[in-house]
Structure 1
Amino acid sequence: MGSLDLLWGGLEAALTPTNLMYAAIGVLLGTFVGVLPGIGPAMAVALLLPVTFGLDATPAFIMFAGIYYGGMYGGSTTSILLNTPGESASVMTAIEGNKMAKKGRAAQALATAAIGSFVAGTIGTLLVVFFAPPLARIAVEIGAPSYLAVTLMAMVLVTSVLGSSRLRGFIGLFLGLTIGLVGLDLNTGQPRLSFGTPQLADRLDIVVVAVGIFALGEALWVAAHLRRRPLEIIPVGRPFMGRDDWRRSWKPWLRGTALGFPFGAIPAGGAETPTFLSYVLERRLARNGDEFGKGAIEGVAGPEAANNASAAGTFVPLLALGLPVTATATIMLAALQGYGINPGPQLMTEHADLVWTLLASLLIGNTLLLVLNLPLAPLWARLLRIPRPYLYAGILFFASLGAYAANQEAFDLFLLLVFGLIGLAMRRFAVPVLPLILGVILGPLMESKLREALAISDGSPSGLVNEPLAVVVYLIIALLLLAPLVTRRLRPRTPAPVTTPTEPTDDRQKVDR
């Protein structure tokens, strides 16, 4: 029986009225929990996991799929409206989406995020259906040198979004790399930058860092300038996307999907790198590149599509290999095992009905998410009509709640304040926030893959380039570094205009007059 026939059987099982009801409940619950600042899809799924207890496996996983996609969309909502990413993969959405919201285009940002999520999630799920077994075999063959090369490429590409000052951008990047070093050394077990504090022995939670830098830093910055600037209510603007918004969004949706799915299908990948790469790619390809950093809709459409395509791709290693790539996939693996199901190469033969019903429910949950939340985009945007003191007071409350919920430790509230003050200082001295977040996320991954590659090659540097994919990526990095220098050399120099002493300049003529 072919994949289409199996998928059709899964759709027939998932499209019963009872299962549709569970899918709708899951989407609504996931959205309303995920919309709380600091609570991403992983935490939303973990908090709502007990809701599925007592159900049979099929309706439980149909509801689970709705919670998963609903939590992801809720995280993008907080990123756009409140500049508070619920997870590291939503950081890029916050950069342009919140700028759009402040310009009265929150509804358009939410709409392109919802439609992009639907497009990427649908295409990604179909790719899982047709290509899960071969993609799983390819993913296993990708080693540490290739991972290291890709992370280095992300570090190089981020220079295109560092702002006007490269020096300030690299300051932010090295701050992030330093923060990423906090915790125990994975090889030696020695504490690094922990200052004798037991709570710093573990690596810092990216949710606490992101919420502190973005939400608390933004709130403190606004509070510091309330006396100088009159209170203003941000306009909501038009409720739906216009023709120009559609024209500028559909290509980023497809490009983000193409970038995100392979990273999700690779064990130990994740959505952070493709969202960064998608943002950089859209900035380079945009005709109106000057709009980036001020609210470019391409900067929301591309990363959101990459995020959701990567989320769909995580089902490849989860179902085919039993390897959870993300925190959310880990929780889903625990749920599968709770029903006595062990993912792996034999899963699609031993539990074919459940697997294909789960994949069909992903398509249904993705569609319900669009149908239910697209009309709600103007309603969510009206949150910005709340006066800013009350709005930011609520942000501080929910940000503190989200930071505490990450590990249930009061020490995280102190860290939240520290990172909030760092975020305030970065805004004061115009140091971009994005490189810091990039360093925190990719720094530990780059370090672990570097050590793994060197350990495999007994310390020989040749072990860093012993994979074809790594060589290709390093060539791309070299081109990215050399291209600006070559173009600068080849650019013809325009001679400066020569002014003769007998001809007065325009300024002198004005003075004479």
Structure 2
Amino acid sequence: MADFFLQALGQVGSPMVLALITIGVLFGIIGGCIPGFTVTMAILVVFPFTFAMDPVSGVSLMVGVFVGGYSGGLVSGIMLGIPGTPSSITTVYDGYPMAQKGEPGRALGIGVAASFIGTLISVAVLVFFGPLIASYSMKFRPWEITSLIVFALTLVAGLSNGAMLKGLLAAALGLLITTVGYDRNSNLRFDFDLPVLGSGFEILPVMIGIFAFSQLMGNLEKLRDDKSEIKDVNTNVAIPYRQILVDMSRQKINTLRSSLIGSLVGALPGTGGTVANFISYDQAKKMSRHPEKFGTGTPDGIVASEASNSAVAGGAFVPTLALGIPGDLPMAIMMGVLILHGITPGPLMFEQNPVLVGAIYASLLIGAVVMVLCQLLLVRWFAKISLIPQQVLVPVVLMLCAVGAFALNNNLFDVWVLFIFGILGYLLWKAEVPLTPLILGVVLGDNMERQLFRALELDSSWLTFLTRPLSALFLALAVVSLLFSLYQNRKIRLHALETKGE
């Protein structure tokens, strides 16, 4: 392992790749700073630029955006009281009050330090658990992989904010989209006599359309409804380094606990930084000797929030690399980068592409260092960037998305795919249908169909899925996750009715 890691470090340490990581981190931070832009949007915009790169360069750029994006949301959250990304919501609870007390530099410094440590701990989790899970999953056959994908999709759908049925329908729609074109036996499906549909839909324009287009349209709609004025923000921020060292020295247990929570939550399909954020903040408050200080500007809340959401970065790579199951939307896009370069994430990746795995480890570590330096040196500029109006941002991002979709195959049809799926995504968003299960269905659909066909070719009996222990376990977990979601939804409805009755 040490040999391929050193080899990977040599490739990632080249001036070109280091420059790409730095650019990725900067763009990720900028994307995270702008309210409503999100980490996923930043990754989607950068995605097309990886086409002409070798796998190590492309993945390193994306990892840089990933690391920078998860830390960038703290800037607007602390300075404006508006979370730049959903994964930095709880940062606002204590970061903004501390800034309002005249200590914005202290709040930003604590957030950046916690993000850095959280990323480092998550890399350690990835390095230790990734190969272990991959070696164990080598025993998986087509039945187990198919059942695992079913479990991942039901888990994601079940966690769709109380909209389980809509989440399941969205996942099914994502799987249906992947059936357009030729199947394994060269049978043409759902082409509607259009030759361009013979090869199916490309993942990139579908993902950009469903998520980015609909998100941007939603931002414009919210902007139209929001009549509030832009806040006057003082961007002359000084970082009190000595004070931050004192603060962080008192937060050892909180930082470690929050980082481990972020890593664990990041490794679960369909969760991500937002879930890690709230769980970690809640646990920090429960474990604190002074829970009444939370929400008034205490360092404990900032550390819990930022350590956990940055630790999601390493944790989310565990199921993606070891099992080929993306944990969240950014990981689904990262998986798309690997697939476009002819690399299939999964247990064999650790054997067939050990240098690339090592490059991901190294990129996460280097990205964390670059993130700290960029945040501390350029924080006042990032604060100004967070004030970019949506009227300027939306058309620029849409243009970049369209150019990226066209650059995939130099084909105008891909731009139309982006536009059509963008309208579909916007309509689903308006209907409060969660988009994450849909996109994961699109990403996992081809692999699920391939494994299902292979399983039935080896044994035509469907009962084999239930007679093989691991396959039966995953299917049982899928049923349990749905039943648990139904129970949660019922509790939410009863609580709403009781609150309304009062």
TM-score between both structures, scaled by the size of structure 1? 0.62
- CA positional deviation for 1:454: 1.7
CA offset digits 1:201-234 (Å, max 9, x no partner):
2232333222212222233334456555437547
Sort the Cα spacing of 1:488 and 1:154 in 2 relative to 1 into closer, same or farther, 3 A.
closer
- CA positional deviation for 1:344: 9.3
Q: Secondary structure at the match of 1:461?
A: coil
CA offset digits 1:251-273 (Å, max 9, x no partner):
56435545777xxxxxxxxxxxx
| Structure 2 residue aligned with 1:432 | 434
User: Which amino acid letter does the alignment assign opposite residue 392 of structure 1?
Assistant: V
Q: 2:260 aligns with which of 254, 261, 275?
A: 254
> What is the alpha-carbon distance in structure 1 between the residues aligned to residue 195 and residue 114 of structure 2?
43
Q: 2:170 aligns with which of 145, 151, 172?
A: 172
Q: 1:28 aligns with which of 22, 25, 30?
A: 22
Q: 2:181 aligns with which of 183, 186, 194?
A: 183
Sort the Cα spacing of 1:380 and 1:174 in 2 relative to 1 into closer, same or farther, 3 A.
farther
- CA positional deviation for 1:304: 2.9
User: Which amino acid letter does the alignment assign opposite residue 415 of structure 1?
Assistant: V
> What is the alpha-carbon distance in structure 1 between the residues aligned to residue 357 and residue 439 of structure 2?
37
- CA positional deviation for 1:200: 2.2
**For residues 53-72 of structure 1, what are the structure 2 equivalents within 5 Å?**
66-67=60-61, 69-72=63-66
Q: 1:397 aligns with which of 396, 399, 406?
A: 399
- CA positional deviation for 1:77: 8.0
| Structure 1 residue aligned with 2:151 | 153
Q: Secondary structure at the match of 2:270?
A: helix
- CA positional deviation for 1:326: 4.7
For the 8 Å contact 2:258–2:280, the answer to whether it is kept is no
| Structure 1 residue aligned with 2:270 | 276
User: Which amino acid letter does the alignment assign opposite residue 260 of structure 2?
Assistant: L
- CA positional deviation for 1:463: 2.4
- CA positional deviation for 1:390: 0.7
1:450 paired to 2:440: no
**For residues 125-144 of structure 1, what are the structure 2 equivalents within 5 Å?**
125=127, 138-144=136-142
- CA positional deviation for 1:389: 0.6
For the 8 Å contact 1:256–1:303, the answer to whether it is kept is yes
CA offset digits 1:162-212 (Å, max 9, x no partner):
334444434433332322322221x22222222222322223233322221
User: Which amino acid letter does the alignment assign opposite residue 447 of structure 2?
Assistant: L
Sort the Cα spacing of 1:466 and 1:482 in 2 relative to 1 into closer, same or farther, 3 A.
same
- CA positional deviation for 1:410: 1.1
RMSD: 5.5
Q: Secondary structure at the match of 1:141?
A: coil
Sort the Cα spacing of 1:436 and 1:250 in 2 relative to 1 into closer, same or farther, 3 A.
farther
User: Which amino acid letter does the alignment assign opposite residue 423 of structure 2?
Assistant: L
> What is the alpha-carbon distance in structure 1 between the residues aligned to residue 84 and residue 481 of structure 2?
26
For the 8 Å contact 1:81–1:101, the answer to whether it is kept is no
> What is the alpha-carbon distance in structure 2 between the residues aligned to residue 149 and residue 236 of structure 1?
51
Q: Secondary structure at the match of 2:463?
A: helix
> What is the alpha-carbon distance in structure 2 between the residues aligned to residue 356 and residue 396 of structure 1?
32
Q: Secondary structure at the match of 2:386?
A: helix
User: Which amino acid letter does the alignment assign opposite residue 191 of structure 1?
Assistant: L
Sort the Cα spacing of 1:234 and 1:9 in 2 relative to 1 into closer, same or farther, 3 A.
same
For the 8 Å contact 2:261–2:308, the answer to whether it is kept is no
- CA positional deviation for 1:378: 6.6
| Structure 1 residue aligned with 2:211 | 214
> What is the alpha-carbon distance in structure 1 between the residues aligned to residue 190 and residue 6 of structure 2?
55
Structure 1: unaligned runs, 5 residues or longer: 51-60, 83-92, 262-273, 290-295, 316-324, 335-342, 349-353, 494-505, 508-513
User: Which amino acid letter does the alignment assign opposite residue 254 of structure 1?
Assistant: L
Sort the Cα spacing of 1:98 and 1:467 in 2 relative to 1 into closer, same or farther, 3 A.
same
CA offset digits 1:425-484 (Å, max 9, x no partner):
123322222232232223333222222222211x11232135432232233234334457
For the 8 Å contact 2:118–2:306, the answer to whether it is kept is no
CA offset digits 1:374-426 (Å, max 9, x no partner):
43577446433112211112121222122223332211111111122112212
For the 8 Å contact 1:180–1:443, the answer to whether it is kept is yes
| Structure 2 residue aligned with 1:271 | none
For the 8 Å contact 2:134–2:322, the answer to whether it is kept is no
Q: Secondary structure at the match of 1:393?
A: helix
For the 8 Å contact 2:112–2:372, the answer to whether it is kept is no
> What is the alpha-carbon distance in structure 2 between the residues aligned to residue 355 and residue 211 of structure 1?
25
| Structure 1 residue aligned with 2:461 | 460
> What is the alpha-carbon distance in structure 2 between the residues aligned to residue 215 and residue 488 of structure 1?
28
Sort the Cα spacing of 1:356 and 1:478 in 2 relative to 1 into closer, same or farther, 3 A.
closer
> What is the alpha-carbon distance in structure 1 between the residues aligned to residue 282 and residue 13 of structure 2?
45
Mark the structure with the bigger radius of gyration: 1
> What is the alpha-carbon distance in structure 1 between the residues aligned to residue 231 and residue 201 of structure 2?
34
User: Which amino acid letter does the alignment assign opposite residue 161 of structure 2?
Assistant: G
Sort the Cα spacing of 1:413 and 1:464 in 2 relative to 1 into closer, same or farther, 3 A.
same
| Structure 1 residue aligned with 2:296 | none
> What is the alpha-carbon distance in structure 2 between the residues aligned to residue 444 and residue 226 of structure 1?
38
> What is the alpha-carbon distance in structure 2 between the residues aligned to residue 197 and residue 245 of structure 1?
61
- Which stretch shows the higher mean deviation, 230-239 or 299-308? 230-239
Sort the Cα spacing of 1:20 and 1:198 in 2 relative to 1 into closer, same or farther, 3 A.
closer
For the 8 Å contact 1:31–1:73, the answer to whether it is kept is yes
1:305 paired to 2:314: yes
> What is the alpha-carbon distance in structure 2 between the residues aligned to residue 405 and residue 32 of structure 1?
23
- Which stretch shows the higher mean deviation, 216-225 or 235-244? 235-244
> What is the alpha-carbon distance in structure 2 between the residues aligned to residue 415 and residue 40 of structure 1?
16
Sort the Cα spacing of 1:312 and 1:141 in 2 relative to 1 into closer, same or farther, 3 A.
closer
For the 8 Å contact 2:159–2:485, the answer to whether it is kept is no
**For residues 81-92 of structure 1, what are the structure 2 equivalents within 5 Å?**
none
CA offset digits 1:116-148 (Å, max 9, x no partner):
4443234424667xxx5x766544321111111
Sort the Cα spacing of 1:138 and 1:49 in 2 relative to 1 into closer, same or farther, 3 A.
same
**For residues 364-403 of structure 1, what are the structure 2 equivalents within 5 Å?**
365-375=366-376, 379-380=381-382, 382-403=384-405
Sort the Cα spacing of 1:422 and 1:346 in 2 relative to 1 into closer, same or farther, 3 A.
closer
**For residues 324-363 of structure 1, what are the structure 2 equivalents within 5 Å?**
326=335, 328-329=337-338, 361-362=362-363
Aligned residues: 423
| Structure 1 residue aligned with 2:201 | 204
Sort the Cα spacing of 1:441 and 1:195 in 2 relative to 1 into closer, same or farther, 3 A.
same
For the 8 Å contact 2:45–2:397, the answer to whether it is kept is no
Sort the Cα spacing of 1:472 and 1:118 in 2 relative to 1 into closer, same or farther, 3 A.
same
TM-score between both structures, scaled by the size of structure 2? 0.63
Sort the Cα spacing of 1:33 and 1:113 in 2 relative to 1 into closer, same or farther, 3 A.
same
For the 8 Å contact 2:74–2:111, the answer to whether it is kept is yes
- CA positional deviation for 1:151: 1.4
1:96 paired to 2:105: no
> What is the alpha-carbon distance in structure 1 between the residues aligned to residue 220 and residue 337 of structure 2?
35
User: Which amino acid letter does the alignment assign opposite residue 199 of structure 2?
Assistant: D
